[in-house]
Amino acid sequence: MAKILEKRPLTPITKLYKVDAPLVAKSAKPGQFVIVRVREGGERIPLTIADYDREKGTLTIVVQEVGTTTRYLGQLEVGEEILDLVGPLGMPLEIPVEGHIVGIGGGFGAAALLCLMRELRQRGDTTTIINGAREKDLLILNEELTEVCDNLELCTDDGSEGFHGFVTERLAQLIDGDGPGRPDMVVAIGPMPMMRAVTETTRDKDIPTLVSLDPLMIDGTGMCGGCRVTVNNEVKFACVDGPFFDAHQVDFEEAVRRNKMYVKQEQASKDRTACRKLAVGQD
């Protein structure tokens, strides 16, 4: 059980939660994730750890309501509890390169950059965050992100805020020396098409790039193998070997295909839960 201490809507479908999870907060490192289950009979889903406070024993997670479980989660209020929360899972992110590190967040993926970029900045790196979204209102956590990096670059597809265009277009400009300049390393967290596009942007530029893969998982401890991904022609379990991998070695096509394995079932489950009042834990 993890009690919700704070809840803040970031967009109409994205919510930030601060939860009481002292053991996880104490051990968490940037890049790791937790697995939650929100009701009896519910799924186990992985959620990236956006931030943590070891002293207060709290964990910050950001949830986008896209499926059954995230919608149940979205209905939980301050004072209520997340039924099961386990972690921290996965390998902490290691950034082997020093210098100018560019973190790219797409949609709610930007949240995961909070603890990572703060730590890199403390280490002495120059840190830039490119935060992108479709439109101004969907850009999340701008204030918090400003505090953890040296340069915050905003991008919107419709030009309603910051750079008019995709994060990859802005990234290409940086690589050419614009703004904070060429990155020594890029870390991308967000939707698969965005991470894939970032990967292609840096591939021929000799810029090491990491992406955070988000495959289907059950246990998160290496037990089921559902999260297997192919990296450098080797099969890896994202839950224990990842979630971060060398972007230029990832078989994205396979990863995208495997993530769509249950599309029909996910829709059926969503339809079922959408047409009635969601009663968390009592259904």
Partner 1 sequence: MPVKRVQKTPMPERDAVLRSHDFEEVNEGYGIAHAQFEAERCLRCQDPICIDGCPVRVPIPDFIHKVASGDMRGAAAVLRSSNPLPAVCGRVCPQEVQCEEQCSVGIRFKPVAIGYLERFVADWEMGQPALEVKSNLDRSEKVAVIGSGPAGLVCAGELARLGHPVTIFEALHAPGGVLRYGIPEFRLPKDVLDWEIEQLKRLGVEIRCNVIIGKTIAMDELMGEMGFSAVFIGTGAGLPSFMGIPGENLNGVYSANEFLTRVNLMHANEFPNADTPVMVGKRVAVIGAGNTAMDTVRVALRVGAEHGLIVYRRSDQEMTARVEEHQHAIEEGVEFHWLTNPVEVLGDEDGWVTGLKCIKMELGEPDESGRARPVPIEGSEFVIPVDNVVLSIGNKPNPLLLQTTKGLESNKWGCLVVHDDTSETSREHVFAGGDAVTGAATVILAAGAGKDAAAEIHRDLCEKM
- Residues interacting with partner 1, by CB under 8 A? 23-24, 27, 37, 39, 41-44, 68-69, 83-89, 218-219, 221-226, 228, 230, 235, 240, 254, 257-258, 260-262, 265-266, 268-269, 272
Nearer to partner 1, 27 or 122 (CB): 27
Q: How far is the CB of 268 from partner 1 (least distance, A)?
A: 6
Q: How far apart are CA 134 and CA 137, in angstroms?
A: 8
Nearer to partner 1, 115 or 133 (CB): 115
Nearer to partner 1, 89 or 101 (CB): 89
Nearer to partner 1, 173 or 221 (CB): 221
The strand ranges marked E within 107-260 are 126-133, 151-156, 163-164, 185-189, 209-212, 228-231, 234-237, 244-246
Nearer to partner 1, 87 or 106 (CB): 87
Q: How far apart are CA 266 and CA 232, in angstroms?
A: 30
Q: How far is the CB of 78 from partner 1 (least distance, A)?
A: 21
Q: Which residue has the tokens 């930007």?
A: 110
Q: How far is the CB of 40 from partner 1 (least distance, A)?
A: 9
Q: How far is the CB of 174 from partner 1 (least distance, A)?
A: 34
Nearer to partner 1, 17 or 166 (CB): 17
DSSP secondary structure string for all residues of 39-95: STTPPPEEEEEEEEETTTTEEEEEEE--SHHHHHHHT--TT-EESEEEEEESPPP--
Six-digit token pair at 230?
Answer: 């192919």
Residues 255 and 192: beta-carbon distance below 8 Å:
yes
- Listed in sequence order, the residues at least 6 apart from 73 whose beta carbon sits closer than 8 Å to its beta carbon are 36, 38, 63, 65, 82
Six-digit token pair at 92?
Answer: 């902490």
Nearer to partner 1, 197 or 227 (CB): 227
Q: How far is the CB of 266 from partner 1 (least distance, A)?
A: 8
Q: How far is the CB of 38 from partner 1 (least distance, A)?
A: 9
Q: How far is the CB of 261 from partner 1 (least distance, A)?
A: 5
Residues 6 and 21: beta-carbon distance below 8 Å:
no
Question: 100-106 and 126-133: which strand pairing?
Answer: parallel
